[in-house]
Homo-oligomer: A and B are copies of this chain.
Amino acid sequence: MLQAEMERMGQKAKEAAYKLGSVSTKVKNEALMAMAKALEERMELILTANEQDMEAGRAKGLSNALLDRLLLTPDRIREMAEGLRALVALPDPVGEVVKMWTRPNGLQIGKMRVPLGVIGIIYEARPNVTVDAAGLCLKAGNAVILRGGSEAFNSNKAITDVISAAATSAGIPEGAIQLVETTDREAARIMMRMNGYIDVLIPRGGAGLIQTVVENATVPVLETGVGNCHVYVDEDADLDMATRIVVNAKTQRPAVCNAMETLLVHEKIAEEFLPKVAAALKEKGVELRGCQKTREILPDCNPATEEDWKTEYLDLILAIRVVEGFEQAIEHIHNYGTKHTEAIVTNNYQRARAFLQRVDAAAVFVNASTRFTDGYQFGFGAEIGISTQKLHARGPMGLEELTTVKYIIFGDGQIRT
């Protein structure tokens, strides 16, 4: 029965996507504005639903961190509305002809950006994802099926009711924004195998969720998430700059995937650099775990084990390794990195180039903080997540990444011989 219910949703989304492909930018933008306005006007309804979720969460003993993620306030709702309005200003990727060429036989071939179709999003506690994802998918001409966490069920339902009604009244086909209205875990499993209805599945949440989706989905998946990111401070680094970058990469927002987890330091500058950076990190409350050589320089640093090189702490903890040189740094990143974001601090031209060339990651930085791997920071204006796989999109995914292409071919009766 749930299977049939999910397929009905899928069919509805598919029909909506088919119509949505021809909806003008103007109508999509009006819908985004209407959705934003509705969120603000129906704030009480959403806050009441959120209060239910918060009460249930407290009763269930959710951690304060989780409760904070779950919490909606008038300010947070206004922020969500502003996010939708910001999408209006972004260029519509749909219909752009990326390139066009003519073949010797006269066929004129163009590569045109078109919506992906139906996007499934499976996510966890934060109800703002509901609005973000719906807005991004809509602007890129896609229908969306949202599957939020059970803790936020009432909030997500209230939000979806409000924004999907506003979208429909602004001329968006019904079924373009749908929420899976059950907390039954089986619904997510079904979504993962809805080939023919869902074109792409994007999981947003912790490593466990992403793993489950990758393991079980037959629908193509855009994997997001894990970042075991490094900063390598080269022998030719400006040590003040290196300190600023390391402190920023570790502490500006430690719980996110583009935060640094391991610091690699060239042995030639370790004695000068480590005490300096350690002092700055300790001021920010960072726990340090170092290799043997690090601990010879920083005696009160905890020891790092093999496990530490592999760990994405997402916390105020930093692993430190002193390396013999550039090659060992590259090798460490090759062995332990998750191909998300890697950075070198150096003033050496050749090693800067070699690092950019040889490190295999979605984003490779010279002399800047890893924290810049982000759709807004890259200038995409919005972000649906950061891809950590290599197919389709790598790194921050904005509106363009929510489209595919089709070839449009103009002929004059050409046949193949």
Contact = CB atoms under 8 A, between A and B. Distances in A.
The copy count of this chain in the complex is: 2
B362 A415 contact: no
A361 interface: yes
Contacts of A176: none
Output the residue of A200, A238, A408 with the most chain B CB within 10 A. Answer: A408
Contact of A404 (B116, B373, B390): B390
A183 interface: no
Interface residues of A, number: 68
Contact of A238 (B117, B215, B220, B413): B413
A416 interface: yes
Interface stretch (A48-56, A59-67, A70-78, A244-252): A244-252
A367 interface: yes
A390 B195 CA distance: 12
A409 B367 CA distance: 9
Most buried by B among A362, A379, A407, A412: A407
Given A117-B360, A220-B220, A244-B413, 4 more contacts: A114-B360, A200-B390, A214-B218, A369-B416
27 contacts: A21-B360, A22-B357, A107-B372, A107-B377, A109-B378, A116-B391, A195-B214, A220-B220, A220-B221, A222-B391, A244-B415, A245-B415, A247-B415, A248-B416, A249-B415, A363-B409, A365-B409, A366-B410, A367-B412, A368-B411, A372-B416, A373-B407, A378-B407, A390-B404, A394-B404, A394-B405, A395-B407
